[in-house]
Structure 1
Amino acid sequence: MISTDAWVLYAGPETETARQPIPGELRRETFTFPDLDDDEVLVEPLYGSWEANLDHALSRNPVDICRQRREEKIVLGNGALVRVIERGRNVKSLGEGDVCMVMPFGKRDENGFAELVFAYDAPGTIGVMARRTKVHADNLVPLPSGSRHSLLRWTTYGRYFTAWDNWKVASACWRAQLPHADPEKHLVFGWGGGTTLAELALAKREGFRVAMTASNDARLREIAELGITPVDRRRFPNLAYDEKRYRDDPEYRTAYKASEHVLLETIAELSDGKGVSIFLDNLGGGLYRATMRAIGRTGIVSTVGWKTGMRLWNLRATECINRRLHVHTHAWRHGDSETIRDFQEATDWIGPEPTEVFDFDDVPKLADAYLHGRVETYFPIYRVNGT
């Protein structure tokens, strides 16, 4: 058995389906796990990236992930740079001391896409929020030898790998309907976090007009520095749509309609009145009505996340008549991992040098800051064994 210092999440109390879940908290303790199997690697995480699935796990929304895995406690974290310490006897592709990115594949389908996610809903997997952990060797992708980029910049890779896959599908769908259209005349617009930002950088490379919302000055500057038009989210603060309140509360309805009007005026100005051609919406929930009002004919709504809500409603006739396509992806294809890594190294399509790095002792502070929107950067990082 192997013992390590880790942040651990315990299963929550059993609750009735109708009740709200009770959020969990991370506990610092010694965590013990079995010795290496022949195809596994023992690693020490260096830097971890705070991903949205950590927030889902701690909020127990949409599920209590411990109970779904039928485990009393788990170690989370599936985005990190790690250093190889020891190899199982069948591992030949990695050497001790290699620095690698962790790929979050717990179970893959026949096409190489994730069905279960490592250190989230894949039973028995042990995440990187620990001084040591173990990973299947084929879930480790070494950094490029002699990379121009710092370890901290490479730690942002998870959002970029996800963005690469989602954008590839969304762009192909748009071109399937309009193969001869000039991207310079079409707007790609997004709200969300680092994944949306990374996708917009790819859209810009393809010649599209690009714009993104943010609600603090630091993020607006970060967007502008990438050559993406920043749109201040504070100009339309009341876009969270609630059907019952919209019907029953005149004051709420007036505030919502005013915010939606400002958004649609902004979109019209940016798109020459055409509406959004590809809308990157990784939030969903109450913002989805505004998303669909902003999309033009033959438009694409593309999502790889559901931070503010999973359940969406569409009028299918309207979507058919307007020829609007809906793209839903999750993570990326396992076999594309090295291709994406090499594209990042060759093109400098990689996250900025992180400005917020939390110590391992302060991981719960990072969790709280992320939950309450107090993290300014799109790429929050925590240090495990890094310097």
Structure 2
Amino acid sequence: MAASRSLTAMATWSISVSSMTRNVVRSDQPESHLGAPIRQDDRSVTELTGGTSHMTTMTKAYAITAEAVAAETEANGGDIAAIDVSKVVQLDDLELRDLGPRDVKLKILAVSAEHNIDHAATADTINIAEARGGKIYPGNSAVGEVIEVGAEVTAFTAGDVVITHCNGDPDRFGFPLRIWAYDMPDSIGWYSKEAVVEDWQIIKAPLDSGLNLWEIAALPLRAPTAYHLWRRALGIYRVKVPYERQARLNVLSFGGGVGELFLMLAKAEGHNAFFCAGSKERRDALEKHGIVGIDQKQFNRFASSDDVKAFNKHVKGLTDGVGMHLVCDMLRGPVFEAGLAVQARLGVNVSAGWQLSQVVSYNSTVQSVKQVTIDHTHYETPEGCEAATELYGSVFKPTIHDEIYSFEDLPRCFQEMHENTQTGIPIIRVAD
């Protein structure tokens, strides 16, 4: 197993953004891998094939196959909790497509682990690998260095450090019909050494944000999701209650990276923010930002109605009997009932996730009397993704897991995510 790196042992990889920009190998520097002799141990090789001018570029990338999902599911008797995700997410050889006129070729620097990989590896919602023809190449959140651009690309040049977004198929309003590297047909993800993307799929990384490389890598999927959830929640509430009737709101989110960022937005705008999670490390990290922590384990993760009642009593005590005006619930399952129980009158419950359950139920009469709005969203528009990067560092300051995983340890990273043992957003260093 390859050695992993801690946050305090980054070697030549930078802690500060200024260091990061010095240390990232740029394509216009002599030490760049472009133009260097191809070595047998290179993970990416380019060669002429068939005596034509067609160039075949091979790279290393992680894949999930329907066969691996079926084998691991059978080995564990269909028990999703017992599945070893590290046996499903496997390193593979990937042929990159030829560079088109609007394409950009990236050297991937770092990626974050995303929960949709757990869904893909366990097939707990849909067997996406099977639906996509038997194999997917996952990874829809990455930081990369531009190493080559197509003839019609004007916004990026070799050496730019960029982030990806995963809006795979915008509708006429810009919102995604499909997510890249998940349910978007023929989409290839970015858990790879190199990648080819269209220029509209990347955004220049905010290198002056004050965040380090790992923190920037944590945000391309999570920050746009939180940004849209916050605008939806607050906007819907203001349709019902204007600022002059109530300026400061009580805002609750349950555990997870998107939920943390949602609360950072709330706190930045002067609202009371509360974070309910089982991880003490993550609660402690948010308390440094003035966000009040609530231990979810204290209420047995809402396993019974008595646990939900106890949670409601606790929340009412924290909010002078009012409850939560805005609730962000990315988990569903038993958390959904708990979130509705503590909802204040005229409140808004928003979600873009289903980690614990796809299907929920509620008493429509009760929510109608309370005038509670239950709202669902998915992911941002490309323009919204770019706008969210303006808040990197000033608002979004993610909590990073204390181990930075090596590329070879990516499968273990996802197994530990499956086991829910990580203390922050997990990051994988891809570039050597």
Secondary structure at 1:380 match in 2: strand
**Where in structure 2 are the equivalents of 1:250-265 lying within 5 Å?**
256-265=304-313
**2:345 matched to 1:282?**
no
Matched-pair contact (CA < 8 Å) for 1:107–1:117 = yes
- 1:163 equivalent in structure 2: 226
Q: Deviations over 1:81-124 (max 9, x none)?
A: 01111112221211011110001021110111111111111121
CA distance in 2, matches of 1:264, 1:166: 23
Name the structure 2 match of 1:3. 58
Report the equivalent of 1:381: 427
Spell out, residue by residue over 1:136-156, the C-alpha distance to the aligned partner (whole angstroms, 9 max, x if none): 111010113544322222112
Deviation at 1:261, TM superposition (A): 2.8
Tell me by how many angstroms 1:383 deviates: 0.8
Q: Which stretch shows the higher mean deviation, 143-152 or 353-362?
A: 143-152
Report if aligned partners of 1:81, 1:102 keep a CA contact under 8 Å in 2: yes
Q: Match for 1:311 among 359, 369, 394?
A: 359
For 1:193, give the aligned amino acid: G
Percent of pairs with identical residues: 25
Flag the 1:106–1:238 CA change in 2: closer, same or farther, 3 A: closer
Distance 2:173 2:398 in 1: 28
- Give ranges in structure 2 of 5+ residues lacking alignment: 1-55, 72-76
1 CA distance for matches of 2:309 and 2:58? 57
Q: 2:245 aligns with which of 176, 181, 187?
A: 181
Equivalent residues of 1:156, 1:350 under 8 A apart: no
Does the 8 Å contact 2:104/2:199 carry over to 1?
Answer: yes
- The 1:145/1:287 distance shift into structure 2, 3 A limit, reads closer
Is there any run of 5+ residues in structure 1 with no aligned partner, and where?
241-255
**Aligned pairs (5 A) from 1:131-142:** 131-142=193-204
| 2:382 aligned with 1:334 | yes
Residue 287 of structure 1 deviates from its aligned partner by: 2.2
Q: 1:368 to 1:353 in 2, by over 3 A?
A: closer
Does the CA-based 8 Å contact 1:183-1:209 persist in structure 2?
Answer: no
Equivalences for 1:1-387 in 2 at 5 Å?
Answer: 1-12=56-67, 25-70=88-133, 72-144=134-206, 146-157=208-219, 158-179=221-242, 180-184=244-248, 186-240=249-303, 256-344=304-392, 347-352=394-399, 355-377=402-424, 379-385=425-431
Task: Describe the shift of the 1:369–1:353 C-alpha distance in structure 2 as closer, same or farther (beyond 3 A).
Answer: closer
Instruction: Give the CA deviation at 1:167.
Output: 0.2
- What secondary structure sits across from 1:200 in the alignment? helix
> Following the alignment from structure 1 to structure 2, what is the Cα–Cα distance between the partners of residues 236 and 266?
10
* 8 Å CA contact 1:276, 1:299 repeated in 2: yes
Task: Indicate the SS of the match to 2:275.
Answer: strand
Aligned length: 364
Query: What displacement does 1:21 show?
Result: 8.8
Counterpart residue number, 1:251: none
Task: Tell me the distance in 2 between the aligned counterparts of 1:322 and 1:146.
Answer: 45
Moved more, 141-150 or 278-287: 141-150
In structure 2, the residue corresponding to 1:289 is in which secondary structure?
Answer: helix
Q: Is the 8 A contact 1:216 1:376 kept in 2?
A: yes
Whole-angstrom CA distance in 1 between matches of 2:403 and 2:223? 18
CA RMSD in angstroms comes to: 2.1
1:316 Cα shift? 2.3
Structure 1 contact 360–384 (Cα < 8 Å) conserved: yes
| Aligned-pair CA distance for 1:355 | 2.8
Distance 2:340 2:328 in 1: 11
What is the match of residue 253 of structure 1?
A: none
Instruction: State how far apart, in whole Å, the 2-side matches of 1:148 and 1:205 are.
Output: 17
Shift of 1:165: 0.8
1:243 maps to which residue?
none
Q: Is residue 154–residue 350 contact of structure 1 (8 Å, CA) maintained in 2?
A: no
- Return the letter of the residue paired with 2:157: G
3-state secondary structure, aligned to 2:392: helix
Change (3 A) 1:145 1:226: closer
Provide the C-alpha distance between the structure 1 equivalents of 2:207 and 2:286, rounded to a whole number of angstroms.
Answer: 30
The whole-number CA distance in structure 2 between the counterparts of 1:67 and 1:80 is 25
Name the CA shift for 1:327/1:257 in 2 (closer, same or farther; >3 Å).
closer
Higher mean C-alpha displacement, 298-307 vs 22-31: 22-31
- Aligned with 1:237: secondary structure? helix
Whole-angstrom CA distance in 2 between matches of 1:91 and 1:314: 50
Give 1:236 deviation, angstroms. Answer: 0.6
The 8 Å contact of residues 60 and 93 in structure 2, kept in 1 or not, is answered as: yes
SS of 2:387's partner is helix
Native 8 Å contact 2:268 2:395 kept in 1: no
* Structure 2 counterpart SS, 1:343: coil
CA distance in 2, matches of 1:189, 1:146: 30
TM value normalised by structure 1: 0.88
- 1:129 alignment partner AA: Y
Report the Cα distance in structure 1 between the residues aligned to 2:286 and 2:70, rounded to whole angstroms. 43
In 1, Cα distance between equivalents of 2:136 and 2:57: 15
CA contact (8 A) 2:301 2:334 kept: no
Deviations 1:64-91 (A, max 9, x none): 1122222x32211011101111112221
Structure 2: how far apart are the matches of 1:146 and 1:324? 40
| Distance in 1, Cα, partners of 2:78 & 2:390 | 44
Residue type of the partner of 1:108? P
Q: Aligned in 2, Cα 1:332/1:46: closer, same or farther, shift over 3 Å?
A: same
- Secondary structure of the corresponding residue to residue 5 of structure 1: strand
**Aligned equivalents of 1:274 and 1:145: distance in 2?**
41
Change (3 A) 1:295 1:146: closer
